[in-house]
A and B are shown apart, each in its own frame.
Chain A
Amino acid sequence: MATRDPAAERRAWAAGVPGRGLTYERAHAFGAEKLHRWRLDNGLTVLLLVDASAPVASYHTWFKVGSRHEKPGKTGLAHLFEHLMFNETETMKAGVFDRKLEENGAETNAATWVDWTYYYESLPSDRIKLAVKLEAERMSRLVLREPQVASEKEVVANERRYRVEDDVEGTANELLYKAAFPEHPYGWPTIGWMQDIQGFTPEDCVAFYRTYYAPNNATVVVVGDIRERDLLLAIRDAYGPLPAQIVPPEDIVPDQPQLELREHEIRKPTATEKLLLAFKGPALGDADHATLSVLSEVLFGGRAARLYRSLVVEQELAIDLRGWVSTFRDPGLFECWATAREGHTTREVQVVIDAALAGVRSDVVTEDELARAKARLELGLLQQLETIPGKAEQIGFYETVLGDPTHAFDRVEAYRRTTASDLRRVARRYLVDRARTIVRVLPEGPPAAEAAQ
């Protein structure tokens, strides 16, 4: 009896498609499901996952462009596109893009970070071809003229006031990355410096668009209740005529290894002191990344975490405590954020953090601590896969940053393999006190109510 081979069937089907232009590459195991990889002749990667749990589909377009591709003086340009892409195209006046999507019941948005930009539409599944048409249109026929650029610059300036200027954590975080990465583009904010935002011209935008918004620099991810063949033909017809572009090689200047302590203080109108403390960490693709993430969970994740217990529960020195390992393509940071309670200082908080970090460098954590951290990380991954848009985001993110759309599952395996001695090894390698960056936020004066009396 012949054995059915769906992958071979897909290849045969692609070869027989009239007009061709479409190649089936492979299937990836995505948990118990299958994710299929296709490629158009112009280089567009298409990843499809059928999930019929609800009559909806999510259409994500991930571009390999983020703030790392900008130049000094032009920071924030990648993020500005997150706004400009919802504007006028050669066949649609301003506002039409959003109205068409809304009229069809779509949820749509976009996000930009250091390594990537992505756009998504989630639609009732029988309307998903609208996303194909609109995304192909704005990938190649965006109109970038003065009125659109000027208006969106103003919106982004207001977004920056909201996220940075008037936000204590936003300001501190911006300063931390600037200090930690004096050369690498990770040192400037993805939203851009205010004077750069205000200085963009339509010409800057056109040059950036022509360089990075191209099918060979993008991945389309579709997850949902889709008819794979119909959708692929629609994608081929809509994107097939778009030409590939020459994407210039990256011109990144890596930072020299940090060998010294970098320390900054700022004053803000806030009642309590805050501490941001960061060590240079591994890249997302480094095997140590998952290990350091487990260590972060042991120290910071949840009320039973070692440092949370010391600082928030037992000694009551802090109220908010978080740890995070940057999920960047190049080496990023292992960050810690702590908010001291009223009447306490970040110096007191730091003494406790330093002791805990010394502890994980000198001794192995307990098996109970390790099991707790692994269970929390597994729960976190499952929660990210609960919805159709959530699956599409995971696939697009790992494909764009690592070239591996199912890496989320590999990470869970890596968490499971991690041992207590692995944690001590990465603690010794990365958590080097003399080579870290610290930002302190101090209150400006007495609380407003007290001052008013």
Chain B
Amino acid sequence: MSAARKVLPAPARFDLGGGAVGLHEASHAVPLVSIAVAFRSGAGVEPADKSGLARIAMRMLRRGCEGMTAEQIDFRIDVLGAEMAVDTSSSTVAIHAQVIARNVEPFVELLVRLLTTPTFPEDELGRLKRETIAEIIEGRDSDRLVAQKAMQRTFFEGHPYSRNAGGTTRTVAAIGREDVRDFYRRRVVQGNVVVALSGDVTPDGAAEIARKLVAPLPAGAAVVDDMPEPTMRPGRRLLVVDKPERTQTQILVGAMGTSPHDADHVPLVVANAVFGGTFTSRLMREVRSKRGWSYGASARTAVDRHRQAWIMWTFPAATDAAPCLELMLSLMDAWVREGVTPRELAFIQRYLVRSHAFEIDTAAKRLHQALDVELLGLPADYYSGWTHHVQAVDAATANAAVKNRIRTEDLLAVVVGTASQVLEPLRGAMGTLAESSVIPFDAE
């Protein structure tokens, strides 16, 4: 049998009672166990004036529990050879942990204590809020992060997707202890939780750990996600985020994409891979290989519970920003107007099908996909049938997806650069322009 046709194991799914779900896949490659305790609701359902609450609330779990201070918890995690981090998105929030296998039992005991007996000390909340605000300020040193935040805020204006999961200096400052306790009471309930384990742990061991983690949680239903489908404002808009002394710019161009439930979602993903998904894609070839204008250039379609944005990205020198933006828009226009060729499609299908081996080459990656399906409510075969979905796309469906979804007349370009140097040339590069504006880089 060819090595590439070897059948890999798939994660097992099991019922933990009360609506909680467990996932597990064993791998004994290294003596490590990965544990995710994930919740089916994220930053999208938190109050707009308290964005950042989901992340703060989950981080507070390790800032004090019955019988242990934050300092004792931090030490205990480290000395067990473990790591613990919080990952927050618009739709989910999760604790991701990893521990050396010989210490999995005491680590799980600690995790149960953190999940079930948090004390949310007032002084620790104040400390965490100050730390979070300092991190937000520090993030402004990254032009790429500044560009991404400005795009998210402006593209989804008025929709919960516009809120950064980390919050802003103002909204984080407004979070109180009662907000955190209320978040915990509503979200950390059996019906809202998925526990996923992978690594050096047997199926029986994993089931026992998952039950230990879930059984003490109160009963309760999953938090309802009642977000509307996002829409974007019509017209071509330009937003320049002004930062002094930039020798380079960060350029993001966004248009509305698809939801994973849309029939044309996979065709759009496939067509996008031709446009900007690989090193030899059209965008990379024209921007980097032919002209040397940017170290990188790519385009991607994000996946979430609701419709998400399609975004292309490059970072040329300030002097090349306007011609580069003009080139990006003309490539986008040709992609929408003419689509992809059958030859390009066949090439990218071979790439996507064969490289899929690296999406599923470890138990942790396979489990992460299963977790995404569970948390985001993706079609059950979204990942497991991925190669078949890709192979089923033909040129007509790929091109229809691009033409129907990507509107070149309705887009937002966000550029981080020194406005006095780049604003006017960029306005010229946009062609038809409904609106342009400049904001300082520390705007929220």
Contacts and interface: CB of A to CB of B under 8 A. Distances in A.
Interface of A: 51, 53-56, 94-95, 98-99, 102-108, 122, 124-127, 150-159, 161-162, 165-169, 225, 268-272, 301-304, 309, 312-313, 316, 319-320, 339, 341-342, 368, 371-372, 375-376, 378-379, 382-383, 385-388, 444, 447-449, 451-452
Contact of B4 (A108, A125, A271): A125
20 contacts: A54-B6, A54-B361, A55-B5, A98-B280, A102-B280, A103-B347, A104-B354, A105-B355, A105-B356, A124-B3, A158-B295, A158-B316, A168-B141, A169-B141, A304-B74, A312-B131, A313-B127, A319-B131, A375-B80, A378-B81
Contact of A383 (B32, B130, B140, B246): B32
A161 to B, nearest CB: 4
A55 B357 contact: yes
A161 B248 contact: yes
B3 A225 contact: yes
Given A151-B292, A341-B134, 7 more contacts: A154-B292, A155-B288, A165-B247, A225-B6, A270-B140, A368-B75, A451-B440
Given A105-B355, A162-B295, A95 B78 contact: no
B50 to A, nearest CB: 22
B362 A102 contact: no
Given A105-B354, A166-B246, A319-B138, A94 B362 contact: no
Interface in B353-391: 353-358, 360-362, 364
A104 to B, nearest CB: 6
Nearest to A103: B350
B244 A269 contact: yes
Nearest to B279: A98
Interface in B216-268: 242-248
Contact of A158 (B27, B79, B315): B315
Interface string B142-186: 010000000000000000000000000000000000000000000
Contact of B361 (A102, A304, A388): A388
Nearest to A54: B361
A8 to B, nearest CB: 27
A371 B78 CA distance: 9
Contact of A270 (B141, B280, B357): B141
Nearest to B79: A372
Contact of A95 (B135, B289, B351, B442): B289
A375 B293 CA distance: 45
A55 B4 contact: yes
A6 to B, nearest CB: 21
Q: Which of A103, A156, A157, A385 has its CB near the most chain B CB atoms (within 10 A)?
A: A103
B138 A320 contact: yes
Contacts of B88: none
Interface in B267-293: 278-280, 285, 288-293
A124 B357 contact: yes
Contact of B292 (A51, A152, A268, A271): A152
B354 A385 contact: no
Interface residues of B, number: 74
Majority SS of interface residues in chain B? mixed
Given A95-B280, A103-B351, A127-B354, A54 B78 contact: no
A382 to B, nearest CB: 5
A304 B290 CA distance: 50
B4 A127 contact: yes
A386 B354 contact: no
Contacts of B350: 103-105
B81 A376 contact: yes
B294 interface: yes
A103 B130 CA distance: 49
10 residue pairs, one from A and one from B, having the closest CB atoms: A105-B354, A154-B292, A448-B440, A375-B81, A105-B355, A54-B361, A304-B74, A319-B134, A125-B3, A159-B295
Contacts of B244: 269, 444, 448
A271 B358 contact: no
A46 to B, nearest CB: 20
B443 A53 contact: no
B109 interface: no
B292 A272 contact: no
A339 B138 contact: yes
B10 interface: no
A123 B99 CA distance: 29
B122 to A, nearest CB: 16
Contacts of A342: 134, 137
Contacts, number: 201
A372 B364 CA distance: 25
A358 to B, nearest CB: 23
Contacts of B279: 98, 102, 108
Contacts of B75: 304, 368, 372
A161 B134 CA distance: 26
Contacts of B289: 94-95, 151
A389 to B, nearest CB: 9
Contacts of B443: 449
Contacts of A56: 357-358, 361
A315 to B, nearest CB: 11
B128 to A, nearest CB: 10
Given A154-B292, A448-B242, A161 B78 contact: no
A371 B315 CA distance: 44
B83 interface: yes
Contact of A53 (B27, B98, B442): B27
Nearest to B75: A304
Given A103-B347, A444-B244, A385 B3 contact: no
Contacts of A104: 350, 354
A378 B288 CA distance: 40
Given A158-B315, A379-B100, A387 B292 contact: no
Contacts of A51: 29
B130 to A, nearest CB: 6
Nearest to B416: A166
B14 to A, nearest CB: 24
A21 B294 CA distance: 44
A51 B30 CA distance: 12
A372 B71 CA distance: 13
Given A55-B3, A375-B78, A383-B98, A158 B292 contact: yes
A151 B289 CA distance: 7
Nearest to A106: B355
B245 to A, nearest CB: 6
A166 B143 contact: yes
A420 B278 CA distance: 50
Interface string B376-414: 000000000000000000000000000000000000000
Nearest to B72: A304
Contact of B294 (A102, A158, A272): A158
Contacts of A304: 71, 74-75, 77-78
Nearest to B294: A158
A271 B442 contact: yes
A115 to B, nearest CB: 23
Contacts of B317: 157-158, 161
Contacts of A371: 79
Nearest to A151: B292
Contacts of A103: 347, 350-351, 354
Nearest to A225: B3
A110 to B, nearest CB: 12
A150 B290 CA distance: 11
B2 interface: yes
Contacts of A383: 32, 98
Interface in B6-24: 6, 8
Contacts of B135: 319
B417 to A, nearest CB: 10
Contacts of A161: 247-248, 317
A54 B362 contact: yes
A122 B248 contact: no
Given A319-B138, A378-B100, A448-B244, A107 B280 contact: no
